[in-house]
Amino acid sequence: MRPTIKDIAERAGVSKTTVSFALNDPGRISAETRKRVMDIVAELGYVPDPVARALTTKRHGALGLLLPQPIHEALANPYLCEIVRGIGELCEERGLALTMLPPVKGAVIEAARRAAVDALLTIGVGPGTAVAELLHRRHLPFVTIDGDESATTVNVGIDDEAAAYALMRHILGLGHRRVAVLSLMPESYLDSAGDYSRVSCLRLAGFERALAELGLGLASPGIGVVAVEGSLEGGRQASLRLLSDGGRAPTAIVAMSDAAALGAYEACRELGLAIPRDLSVAGFDDIPNASLVYPPLTTVHQPGLEKGAAAATLALALLAGEAVGHRILSAELVVRGSTAAPRVGAPAPRS
C-alpha cells in the first residue's frame, strides 16, 4: 500500500493536520517540525492523492473539452486542433491539465456526466440541449464554442452568416451561377438529431443572402446543397458525384470546411480537371494546409487558436464567479488561387 497522510503523521509523531500544513501551508508550523515531516515525506516518497484532495478542495486542476466525436476523429481536423491549442495556452498560463471528453458509447451526455474538471468547454452544444441542462445542474461552468448564443449559455464564435455571405458574394461576383455547397453533416450532438447544426444554418443563411441579391436562392436551378462529412474523403466523394453530373455539373464548389474543399481537389485530380480553370473551389476554416496546397485555397479564415483561448478564458472567469458575455471573433475571407471566373462558353466538364 502506498503511504497516506496518516502514515506520515504517525511516523513523524505528529497529527495529520500538521503534515497537511507542512505540505500546503508551511509557516503555520515551526520550521523544525516541518523539516522532520518533510524528511519523512521524502523518505517514504509520499504523494498526496489527487482525488482525495479534489474531493475536499473542489478543485481538480483541469479544464475539460467535451467533444462531439471520438478523439482520433476530432484531432484529424486541423481546425479543432487549433482550438485545442488555444485552450492549451490558457492551461499553460494557469497550470491546468486538459481533459478531452469524447462521447461515451456515442453519448455525449454520459461524458458530461463523468467529467471531473473545474470548467468545461463544448463544441456545438446548444442551450436547450440535455447536455447543457446537465452541466447547469452539476454547477459546472461551461462555455460553448461555435454554439448558440443565449441568455443561459456563454458562447464563443464568429459571425458565420456574414462570413458565408462574403464568401458567396465573392463566388457570384466572379460570375459563377452553377454553385454547389458542401454543407456540414448534422452533429451527433443535438438531441433533435437530423437537423443542420446551427453553424450550418447560419452559413446557409449567409449564402442565401448573397444569392438573393441576384434573385437566386439555394433552391434555384444550378444551385445545390449537399451535406457531407467534414473530411477529405467526404468532400472527395461528394465532388466526384457532382462533377460527374454531365452538363449540370457546378462551376464552383463552396465547402463549409477546408477538409471537404481539399476533397474536391482530390476529385479534380482524379477527373483530370484543373482548379480554378475548370472548377473554382472555396472552403471554410483556413487550416494550415489551405495556403500550402496548389493552388492555394480561397477560404474563410477562422481564428481557431483565439477561439479556444477565448473560450477557456471565459470559462475560467465563470469559474471565478465573474459575469461574462458572448464573444464574437472576426473571421475574414481570404481570396487565394483556387477561385476564378468560370470558363466562358465551355460547358461543365464531363468526366
Partner DNA sequence: CTGTTAGCGCCTTCAG
Partner DNA sequence: CTGAAGGCGCTAACAG
**Cα separation, 170 vs 92, whole angstroms:** 40
Q: What is the dihedral of CA 336, 196, 189, 69, to 10 degrees?
A: -40
Choose the stretch contacting a second copy; rule: CB under 8 A; options: 101-109, 150-158, 179-187, 328-336. Answer: 101-109
Place of cell 477557456: 312
Choose the stretch contacting a second copy; rule: CB under 8 A; options: 59-67, 152-160, 183-191, 336-344. Answer: 59-67
Give the burial string for 2-14 (b: 16+ CB within 10 Å, else e).
ebbbebbbebbeb
Work out whether strand 142-145 and strand 119-123 pair parallel, antiparallel, or are unpaired: parallel
* Residue 348, all three cell numbers: 461543365
Contacts of 110 (CB under 8 A, 6+ apart): 103, 104
CB 41 to DNA: min, Å: 10
Check binding of 95 to a second copy (CB under 8 A).
yes
Closer by beta carbon to DNA, 140 or else 225: 140
Place of cell 451527433: 188
Check binding of 101 to a second copy (CB under 8 A).
yes
Choose the stretch contacting a second copy; rule: CB under 8 A; options: 66-74, 176-184, 196-204, 277-285. Answer: 66-74
CB 334 to a second copy: min, Å: 19
* Residue 56, all three cell numbers: 475536499
Closer by beta carbon to DNA, 17 or else 289: 17
Choose the stretch contacting a second copy; rule: CB under 8 A; options: 51-59, 171-179, 188-196, 197-205. Answer: 51-59
Asked if residues 339 and 251 have their Cβ atoms less than 8 Å apart, the reply is no
**Cα separation, 187 vs 327, whole angstroms:** 22
- Taking CA atoms, 329 is separated from 150, 206, 311, in Å, by 17, 17, 11
DSSP conformational letter for 87: H
Helix (H) or strand (E) holding 247: none
Helices (H) and strands (E) in the chain, counts: 13, 12
Tally of residues, the chain: 351
Choose the stretch contacting a second copy; rule: CB under 8 A; options: 47-55, 170-178, 200-208, 211-219. Answer: 47-55
Check binding of 7 to a second copy (CB under 8 A).
no
Name which of DNA, a second copy, none residue 134 binds, using a CB cut-off of 5 to 8 Å depending on partner kind.
a second copy
The three-point CA angle 134-51-141 to 5° equals: 30
Closer by beta carbon to a second copy, 86 or else 147: 86
- Chain centre to alpha carbon of residue 307: 8
Name which of a second copy, DNA, none residue 61 binds, using a CB cut-off of 5 to 8 Å depending on partner kind.
a second copy
Binding-site ranges for DNA (CB under 7 A): 1, 4-6, 13-18, 20-21, 23-24, 28-30, 32-34, 46, 48-49, 52-53, 55-57
**Site track 290-329 with a second copy (rule: CB under 8 A), x = hit:** --xxx----------x------------------------
Name which of a second copy, DNA, none residue 23 binds, using a CB cut-off of 5 to 8 Å depending on partner kind.
DNA
Name which of DNA, a second copy, none residue 115 binds, using a CB cut-off of 5 to 8 Å depending on partner kind.
a second copy
- Figure out which of the listed residues 23, 38, 54, 329 binds a second copy, where binding follows CB under 8 A: 54
Residues contributing to the site for a second copy (CB under 8 A): 2, 45, 47-48, 50-52, 54-55, 60-62, 64, 70-76, 81, 84-89, 91-92, 95, 97-102, 104-105, 111, 113-116, 133-134, 137-139, 288-289, 292-294, 305
